[in-house]
Structure 1
Amino acid sequence: MRASADSVRAQILAILAAWGMPEDLAAQTAEVMLDTDLAGVDSHGIGMLTSYEGMRRAGQVKLDARPRIERDGGAVALVDGGAGLGHPAAAFAMRLAIQRAKQFGVGAVAVRNSHHFGAAGWYVKLAAAEGCVGLVTSGTRTMAMVPTHGAVPVLGTNPIAFAAPAASQPPVVLDMATTTAAANKVRARALRNKPIPAGWVVDGRGQPVTEGAAAVAQIFEKPEGGLSPVGGTPDMASHKGYGLAMMAHILGATLSGASFSPIRVRTQRPEDPDDIGHFMLALNPAAFRPEGAFEQDLDAAVAVLRATPPADPALPVLVPGDPERAEHAERSAQGIPIPAGLEAQIRGICERAGIAFLLAEA
């Protein structure tokens, strides 16, 4: 089915409310999840509700938790996510970073005691909408990445996102996993019965796994193999991707005192929070340049990129953020694709929560 955006929002809100999440926190979470689905990042939108349901049943996540400032150093701060879902904590932290950037020129906020926060790109777009340059990194729950020359997964997908505002052009937006693909992107392709591109997932001998169900099992169930670092298979060719993942973890988790999954799982009980960490940075260009100068220069740079002669005249040269904006426009008009497997999962969640199934054709 192609579900309307309004029905996807309503469905997310109804489920979160049935689970006991306060209205304002649910609204923030639904906003991030819906925008993610509209942008075509199917791995981090409504499809995450199955995972969140499992966390709730285990007692891991406190859906009524409100983020609070634990340490305040002016331009820098530490936020305690209260073991809640990551969306409210991360949005609170980025808004705080933006506020401090407008006051001090820079705002850096670390988050600990959080959970999965959806797509990192949503938070940097929030900074760009407020006239700031934004950078986000995060720790992760799942050990999925095979390190250079390794046979077993150690790191997660450890995302990095960046956005910068221009004057008349849309913001430049980068949102990437430090693995060749995000773990939930593999799951999303498997739900849609699509093959997994060679190089995304490898077994314990470094061989590609391309069948959807087998790839999901390789990531989430098997003790060896997993996702390759961005750049390809886990050899020296992708060592820089592995280094990017370490950078994302150090900023996103070590800085705040959040957990490192291989250490946490040694003692973690099913009901214990994941203690995921995030890092939010906002920079105010006006603290470095005359008002508007940064945005005008970025406009000029983007114009040069767009004017580059294309290799294929039918495929214009893209700027980071273009594919997601195009997908957002198409899905806003035509609806969000909900594969049959995901529809069945959402119906099951609704039945268990005692609420109506609200997804409707666009």
Structure 2
Amino acid sequence: MSNGVAYPNLAEHMVRVPLEELRTTLLAMLKKVSMFEFDSKVAVQRMIDADLHGLPQHGVGRICEYLDAVDLGDIDPRGRVLTLVDSPAFAVLDGSRAIGSVAATKGIELAVAKAKECGTGTVAVGNSQTLGALGVYATLAAAEGCICFCCTSTGGVMVSAPGTSEAAVGNNAFAWAIPTAEESPLLIDSSCGTASRGKLNILQELGIPIPEGVLQSDAENAPLLPRGGAMGFGMALACSALAGPLAGGKMPNAKKKAIISANDSEHFFYVIDVSHFADLDGFKKKVTEALAEIRQLPPTNAAEPVRIPGDRARAMSDGESVPLLMSSAEQIRQRAAKMKIDVTW
């Protein structure tokens, strides 16, 4: 049974780029492919958010893949998110194959609005594309005093099932965000497989061996093992149903895998407004006190304090710069030069 792979210390492979200068470059790149200004701002913010959450496999380094997907016609830079079903407590959206972060942002914002009105809000988004770091969207709900569960169904089959060495389910992601009295929420953000393909690509790029227990075998394009064995497999199936057929999409075994950033994704957002159920401040206080007690538990390794999910990532953010892999920064510079965009960082 595998419980997933964590990044080693990537500090020596990182460079900090001034946040606003990076934002200017990325916006200029998306403008060159005719993306609407508002959509560009949303997409860039979600990419930056991913890096600030310590998830470089889903962040700014993906910009070149998104541009490739636009060039190939897999992402529509001017796609409009449509409302197919709308009721006080739930909705179904059509992402129109716009960049996934735009459709997902509209989905989570709509789910929050419905939760504020009805206590809970549910939104399914079909006909979309990869959204980047799923947990980023869950934190948007937590910032509004809401609990969020969300999941995404991404691409074709990539993860094996217990009892077979063949790929059986998608490497879907799921996330929980729970508001606390701290600056950041309690955030659980995970793939159903042992790692995202983006994370494995980064490890390979840096010459870091992939640990045992991550892939089904050493064969090229071997499927991932499910995280936690049957638990990860079961979560992948559930996410596939919630974020696939419920949004008018397909189960992963019926999808044709495209390039990594244009892979027929669907998304599911479920939001609970805490204040409809309990006093929000009291709720936050109880959760925060529990987290504080856990952090104070004696560590098994004196050099590694007990952490809550998200602690390590929060420590990376200084609010003024974005930590990028050096290789990603260079790829962006080269792509910008080809697009005749000046880079000031």
User: Given the superposition, is the C-alpha separation of residues 15 and 154 from structure 1 closer, same or farther in structure 2, using an over 3 Å criterion?
Assistant: farther
CA deviation string 1:284-343 (max 9, x = no partner)? 1111113422212212221221222222333221112211111224xx567523333x34
Give distance in 2, aligned partners of 1:290 and 1:343. Answer: 45
* Partner amino acid, structure 1, of 2:238: M
Q: Which residue matches 1:336? A: 323
Relative to its length, the structure with more strand (as a share) is 2
Q: 1:351 to 1:249 in 2, by over 3 A?
A: same
Distance 2:254 2:148 in 1: 30
Query: Pairwise mapping of residues 197-276 of structure 1 onto structure 2 (< 5 A)?
Result: 197-203=211-217, 208=218, 218-219=220-221, 225-231=222-228, 238-265=229-256, 274-276=263-265
Do 2:156 and 2:255's aligned partners in 1 also have CA atoms closer than 8 Å? no
Output one character per residue of 1:42-80: Cα deviation in whole Å (capped at 9) or x when no partner.
101122123212211221111111212210121010011
- The residue identity in structure 1 corresponding to 2:291 is V
Q: Aligned with 1:62: secondary structure?
A: coil
Answer whether contact 2:48 2:322 (CA < 8 A) is retained: no
Q: Show the counterpart of 1:135.
A: 149
Match of 1:112, as an amino acid?
Answer: G
Partner of 2:267: 278
- The one of 151, 155, 174 equivalent to 1:160 is 174
Are 2:29 and 1:24 aligned?
no
Matched AA of 1:181: A
**Distance in 2 separating the partners of 1:269 and 1:339:** 27
Deviations 1:6-32 (A, max 9, x none): 233222211111111111100000001
User: CA–CA distance in 1 between the matches of 2:268 and 2:98?
Assistant: 16
CA contact (8 A) 1:129 1:165 kept: yes
Distance 2:188 2:67 in 1: 29
Mapped pair 1:170 → 2:167 = no
State the alpha-carbon separation in 2 of the partners of residues 201 and 280 from structure 1. Answer: 29
Q: Which amino acid aligns with 2:141?
A: A
Which residue is 1:121 aligned to? 135
| 1:318 aligned onto 2:315 | no
Distance 1:5 1:227 in 2: 34
Measured in 2, the distance between the counterparts of 1:116 and 1:269 equals 11
The one-letter code matched in structure 2 to 1:282 is V
Tell me, yes or no, if the aligned pair for 2:215 and 2:223 is still in contact at 8 Å.
Answer: yes
Superposition deviation, residue 110 in structure 1: 0.4
2:332 to 346, 349, 357: 346
Corresponding position of 1:214: none
Name 2:3's counterpart in structure 1: none
Alpha-carbon distance in 2 for matches of 1:63, 1:114: 12
Alignment equivalent of 1:51, drawn from 44, 61, 65: 65
User: After TM superposition, what 4+ stretches of structure 1 lie above 4 angstroms from structure 2?
Assistant: 332-335
2:273 is the counterpart of 1:287: no
- Indicate yes or no: 2:122 matched with 1:108: yes
Q: Normalising by structure 2, what TM-score?
A: 0.88
Which runs of structure 2 are paired with 1:71-110 in the superposition (5 Å)? 71-110=85-124
Structure 1 position 357, deviation (Å) = 3.7
Amino acid at match of 2:340: G
Work out whether 1:327 is the aligned partner of 2:316: yes
Which residue is equivalent to 1:309? Answer: 298
Structure 2 counterpart of 1:263, one-letter code: A
Q: Is the 8 A contact 2:25 2:341 kept in 1?
A: no
Deviation per CA, 1:231-290, whole angstroms, max 9, x where unpaired? Answer: 2xxxxxx1211111111111111211113343132xx899xx743210011101111113
Q: Which runs of 5+ in 2 are unaligned?
A: 1-14
* Rounded Cα–Cα distance in structure 2 between residues aligned with 1:353 and 1:147: 43
Contact 1:200 1:228 in 2 (8 A): yes
Partner of 1:213: none
Per mean C-alpha deviation after superposition, the further-off stretch among 343-352 and 66-75 is 343-352
RMSD: 2.1
More deviation, 303-312/244-253 = 303-312
**8 Å Cα contact 1:112-1:257 kept in structure 2:** yes
**Post-superposition shift, 1:113?**
0.7
Shift of the 78–197 alpha-carbon distance from structure 1 to 2, 3 Å rule, reads same
Out of 138-147 and 73-82, give the one that drifted further.
138-147
- Report how many residues are paired: 329
Letter in 1 for 2:227: V
Out of 23, 26, 39, the residue aligned to residue 12 of structure 1 is 26
Alpha carbons 2:61, 2:329 under 8 Å: kept: no
Q: 3-state SS of the aligned residue for 1:53?
A: helix
